[in-house]
Amino acid sequence: MKKYLYITAIALPIMTGPVWAQEATIQPTDQAPAEQTEGETPDAGMAGDAPTTDNMATDNMESEPAPAEGLAAESAEGETPPPTSEAVVPQQDSAEMLGDWLLSTSVTSPDGETIGSIKDFIITADGQITAVILGVGGFLGIGQKDIAVDYSQLDIQYDGDAIQLAMTREEADAAPEYQYRDKETPPPATGDAMGATGTEMNSGTGMTDGEAGTMGGTPTE
């Protein structure tokens, strides 16, 4: 009996050794990642290896311009601005003034005495201002008369805020009143033009003047 126990004690470590080695070798195989089940997302490592749809769309947007922006750029470069008419004046020059700055402005003598106020301008056919109309004399507009003075004789300062004229108040009161002319207007339409218009209207209806006159009535023999 003792001999049997002695042999068993010696053989047991020898028999279990290969089994332990086999378990140690198989253990890493058991830890392999399980198959992906439906609905699970891939691990971060796998997602980093394969580009996602969002990343591809972002790269395309950064590398290529938007179609609308590209069309707008091509349209802006290809369009030619319309030509500007020669009659258009783009801006006011530093030496130019507005007539509104001078209207109703008082004109004074070198001594500071008020001569009158500007009421209007005399302009030639080529656009040159030759004279200004001053309202002088009277009281509060009553008894006032209009005189014209040479525009070149006015000393206009500060864009019309101060205007001087080498004339005294007495000289202005003694100056002759300015004589206006009648405004020329287009001639009125003549009777021949009106008659021609009436005939054309009748001819447009496809009827003669006689037929047009009998419309609505009983023709007479």
Question: Is the residue at 7 inside a domain?
Answer: no
Which pLDDT score is estimated for 107?
Answer: 97
Among residues 114, 119, 120, 118, which one has the least CA distance to residue 139?
114
Question: Is the residue at 188 inside a domain?
Answer: no
In sequence order, which residues have a C-beta less than 8 Å from that of residue 114 and are 6 or more positions away?
106, 107, 108, 169
| The most confident of 117-126, 193-202, 203-212, by mean pLDDT | 117-126
Which is higher by pLDDT, 121 or 137?
A: 121
Q: Is the pLDDT at 139 greater than 90, yes or no?
A: no
Which pLDDT score is estimated for 184?
Answer: 92
Residue 180 CA to residue 124 CA, distance in Å, equals 14
Confidence of residue 110 (pLDDT cuts 50, 70, 90): very high
Which of 21-25, 80-84, 127-131 shows the lowest mean pLDDT across its residues? 21-25
Question: Is the residue at 125 inside a domain?
Answer: yes
Average pLDDT along the chain: 73
Confidence of residue 124 (pLDDT cuts 50, 70, 90): very high
| The most confident of 2-6, 46-50, 129-133, 205-209, by mean pLDDT | 129-133
pLDDT tens digits, 32-83: 444 554 555 545 444 445 555 555 555 555 555 555 555 555 555 667 777 7
What's the whole-model pTM score?
A: 0.49
Which is higher by pLDDT, 53 or 130?
A: 130
Question: Is the residue at 24 inside a domain?
Answer: no
Rg of the chain over CA atoms, in angstroms?
54
Question: Is the residue at 200 inside a domain?
Answer: no
Question: Is the residue at 109 inside a domain?
Answer: yes
Residue 159 backbone phi and psi in degrees, to 5 = 55, 40
Question: Is the residue at 1 inside a domain?
Answer: no
Average pLDDT (107-118) is: 95
Q: What is the CATH number of the domain that holds 119?
A: 2.30.30.240
Q: How many domains are there within the chain?
A: 1
Are 148 and 131 in contact by the 8 Å Cβ rule? The answer is yes
Question: Is the residue at 170 inside a domain?
Answer: yes
Average pLDDT (167-178) is: 94
Average pLDDT (169-195) is: 87
Residue 72 backbone phi and psi in degrees, to 5 = -65, -40
Among residues 131, 144, 152, which one has the least CA distance to residue 173?
144
- In which domain, by residue range, is 128 found? 99-174
Which pLDDT score is estimated for 115?
Answer: 95
| The most confident of 60-74, 86-100, 120-134, by mean pLDDT | 120-134
3-state SS, the chain, equals CHHHHHHHHHHHHHHHHHHHHHHHHHHHHHCCCCCCCCCCCCCHHHHHHCCCHHHHHHHHHHHCCCHHHHHHHHHHHHCCCCCCCCCCCCCCCCCCCCHHHHCCCEEECCCCCEEEEEEEEEECCCCCEEEEEEEECCECCECCEEEEEEHHHEEEEHHHCEEEECCCHHHHHHCCCCCCCCCCCCCCCCHHHHHHHHHHHHHHCCCCHHHHHCCCCCCCC
* Pair type for strands 162-165 and 154-157: antiparallel
